[in-house]
Structure 1
Amino acid sequence: MQTLEYASGRTVDLFDDAAGPTVLMWHGAQTDARTAMRPLAELVAGHGLVVVVPDWDSHADDRGRGDLLRSVEFARQRADGLILVGWSLGAAAAAGLAIHARRFNVPVTHTVCLAGAFMARDPITAAQLPTELPAQRTPFTLLHGSADDVVP
């Protein structure tokens, strides 16, 4: 693992010992919490995937939009297509980007949302996520526990 700067003052953990697909992994509604994702990132990287885990600030004036989009550009330097993985508010951002991938010209190959905070506005578009996903050819996986009392 290397820790690099993906934008001025913004850091990213990069697991790039493999030549597999690139996974962009976003933490939840916190500031600079990439280390919370490290165990999952190490597990995924151990299966031959490149993993990019950026810090981002969900409390910024733009709700983290700038950080998230800059992290997308950083990750795209390593792959043509991205697998998006988000946890909590990061899942809302991943879902929003997947839904609007054409608008942002981002080639998304799969989206995985972990305990998604879908009642929150998507930090990238600042819009409420739809209650139903439009038909897409890109796989979308939602993982959520029935006993979660934080994100119902």
Structure 2
Amino acid sequence: MTTEVVVKTGLRYGASGKLLDVYQPAGASGPVPAVLLWHGRGPDERDVLALVARAAAKLGVIVLVPDWRPDAPDGGRTHLRESAVFVRQNVSDFGGDPERIALAGWSLGGKAAVGVALNPAAFGDWRPQAIVGIAGSYASAAPTTGTVPIDDLRRGGSLLPPIPVWLVHGTADSVVDIERSRELRSALMEQGWPASLNEVATDHAGVIMTEFVPEYHRCLPSTAAHAVEAGSRTADVLARAAGITAQHSSRRS
């Protein structure tokens, strides 16, 4: 399914007053699955995820992308919590199904998302229906929980009700080595969690359809073939994790 997308930008969420964008598939006949998608380390960079969010929405899923600040005194945990509460309480207003929300993130946001699955008690005991970690590293503390996701998994993963974890990582990523996602996938499977890893032929920025531009110190949209292909694959994973059967094929390894 491919459809038109309606974008609502600059919506305020939470007591902190941060901003959030919503990408809605137009003309849905009923409530559709949703994805809460967190950006990476750059403060208030929801725009970096615009292309991949739009691509996922075209496949029929609502995508909500909030700003947050990893440089906040608490590492951004308050912003991330407020965004999750906002989405759970308000997703139906955008045509989404509050019972079908996947949580996803890129880079540091990916670590934050995986942390919620593996230490839910540190994040209000919320259990999204699936997790997507995009180009993340999982061997240091997550901003959502303050604990190390892979350590949480190894200590108590067998005691938690498992939820699907979908991982995406570029094989040419020089910022976060793909071995971090391979390690997590193996550890999840050892604990009996449903886990997949989509390895895509691109770098850290290309996996979300962008390129890092040094003079701007940020990722900007890319039309390079490897980034377009990889970003499309990432959008597929977001849609699949939320429960939509996407059009593009996804390779698992």
State TM-score, norm by structure 1.
Answer: 0.91
Match of 2:48 among 36, 39, 55: 36
Report how far residue 102 of structure 1 moved: 5.5
Q: Contact (CA 8 Å) 2:33, 2:101: kept in 1 or not? A: yes
- Structure 1 portions without partners, runs of 5+: none
Report how far residue 16 of structure 1 moved: 3.2
Q: Which residue of 2 aligns with 1:6?
A: 13
Q: Which residue of 1 aligns with 2:165?
A: 140
> Which stretch shifts more, 102-111 or 114-123?
102-111
Q: Which residue of 1 aligns with 2:190?
A: none
Q: Contact (CA 8 Å) 2:35, 2:103: kept in 1 or not? A: yes
Report how far residue 46 of structure 1 moved: 1.0
Identical-pair percentage:
37
Q: Which residue of 1 aligns with 2:130?
A: 110
Deviations 1:39-64 (A, max 9, x none): 01101111111111000000111000
Greater fraction of residues in helix: 2
Are 2:143 and 1:90 equivalent residues in the alignment? no
The one-letter code of the counterpart of 1:5 is: R
How many residues align? The count is 152
> Which stretch shifts more, 100-109 or 23-32?
100-109
> Which stretch shifts more, 82-91 or 135-144?
135-144
| Alpha-carbon separation, structure 1, partners of 2:149 and 2:127 | 20
> Which stretch shifts more, 13-22 or 48-57?
13-22
Report how far residue 132 of structure 1 moved: 7.6
Report how far residue 80 of structure 1 moved: 2.5
Q: 2:44 is paired with a residue of what secondary structure?
A: coil
Report how far residue 145 of structure 1 moved: 2.1
| Alpha-carbon separation, structure 2, partners of 1:120 and 1:16 | 34
Match of 1:130 among 135, 150, 154: 150
CA RMSD of aligned residues (A): 1.8
Q: Contact (CA 8 Å) 2:37, 2:66: kept in 1 or not? A: yes
| Alpha-carbon separation, structure 1, partners of 2:85 and 2:163 | 20
Of structures 1 and 2, the one scoring higher in RCO (CA 8 A, sep 6+) is 1
Output aligned runs, 1:43-58, within 5 Å.
43-58=55-70
Q: 2:81 is paired with a residue of what secondary structure?
A: helix
State TM-score, norm by structure 2.
Answer: 0.56
Larger gyration radius, structure 1 or structure 2:
2
Deviations 1:84-113 (A, max 9, x none): 111000000000011123662313111111
